[in-house]
Amino acid sequence: MIDGPLGFAPPEPREMLGWRFRDPQLLQRALTHPSYVNEHPEANVLDNQRLEFLGDAVIDFIAADWVYRSYPEFDEGRMTRLRAALVRTETLASFARQAGVAQVLRLGHGEEEAGGRGRDAILCDAFEAVIGALYLDAGVVVTRSVLEPLLGPVATSTLAEAADQDAKSRLQEWSQGELKVTPRYRVVDERGPDHAKVFVAEVVISEAAVGQGTGHSKQAAEQAAAEAAWESLVGSTLPASARRRP
């Protein structure tokens, strides 16, 4: 049993996301953060990182398949943007909260005291691990039936807001969703007299310069750089350094 955020011990979970696990130990592992294992070596339990790895891939596949089937009129760029919104950290953390993951997640006392039970990154990882466990316990058909109903409302709100997004916002959403990295911008050159200055900016993802643009203001140059990066990255192969998570 584990101590919950209010000092009580919630029941050992066997059911989550509407599925009663045939192997409840899979679910328990999915709900075991590395901090718990580090603080309880005597418990001889495994953390959820391997299941998180699997769940991340399963969610990516199901989300991509769902977008492809649900929006046959979308080109590759629009499908990529929508999928990125569906699998981003904040989205998966919200799914974890809906499923009650936060209440039964096994954390070390240090992480608990630091507010880890409410952190998006921890909840996102735990949700990915739960999906990995569900896939192993029930297969892809059940996993798809559990995950797809969660995707629809997020897709609707994302598409409603898409028309208001500028190039920087689109690139940031994609980069955070696909790579878990936020793009950075830097001005690399200034040209011309003060009354007609031209700025050159580039966008950097994980230390790799992926786009460059010019404009008569720093903001305009950054927007142009984001647009250039978007055109070169989406649907193409990223530099190896840009694929590394921080």
Predicted local confidence at residue 231, as pLDDT: 84
Predicted local confidence at residue 23, as pLDDT: 92
Our answer to whether residue 128 is catalytic in this structure is: yes
The SS3 of residue 198 is: strand
Q: Is the per-residue pLDDT at 232 higher than 90?
A: no
Among 3.30.1490.20, 1.10.3080.10, 3.30.160.20, 3.30.300.30, name the CATH number for the domain at 167-243.
Answer: 3.30.160.20
**What mean pLDDT comes out for the span 128-139?**
96
Our answer to whether residue 137 is catalytic in this structure is: no
Q: What residue has token string 């998570």?
A: 245
CB-based burial label for 240 (10 Å; 0-12, 13-18, 19+): exposed
Q: Is the per-residue pLDDT at 1 higher than 50?
A: no
Q: Is the per-residue pLDDT at 235 higher than 70?
A: no
Q: Is the per-residue pLDDT at 171 higher than 50?
A: yes
Per residue in 22-52, pLDDT tens? 999 999 999 999 998 888 888 788 899 999 9
Predicted local confidence at residue 115, as pLDDT: 84
* Nearest C-alpha neighbor of 157 from the set 173, 141, 181: 173
pTM: 0.64
Cα separation, 222 vs 208, whole angstroms = 16
Contacting residues for 125 by C-beta, under 8 A, at least 6 apart: 33, 48, 49, 52
Superfamily per CATH, domain 15-162: Ribonuclease III domain (1.10.1520.10)
Which residues partner with 32 through β-bridges? 106
Per residue in 88-124, pLDDT tens? 999 999 999 999 998 899 988 888 888 888 899 999 9
Domain with CATH 1.10.1520.10 in the chain: 15-162
How many other CB atoms sit within 10 Å of the CB of residue 229? 27
- Phi and psi angles of residue 32, each rounded to the nearest 5 degrees, phi first: -110, 105
Instruction: Out of 125, 128, 137, 202, pick the active-site residue.
Output: 128
Domain with CATH 3.30.160.20 in the chain: 167-243
Instruction: Out of 56, 112, 125, 173, pick the active-site residue.
Output: 56
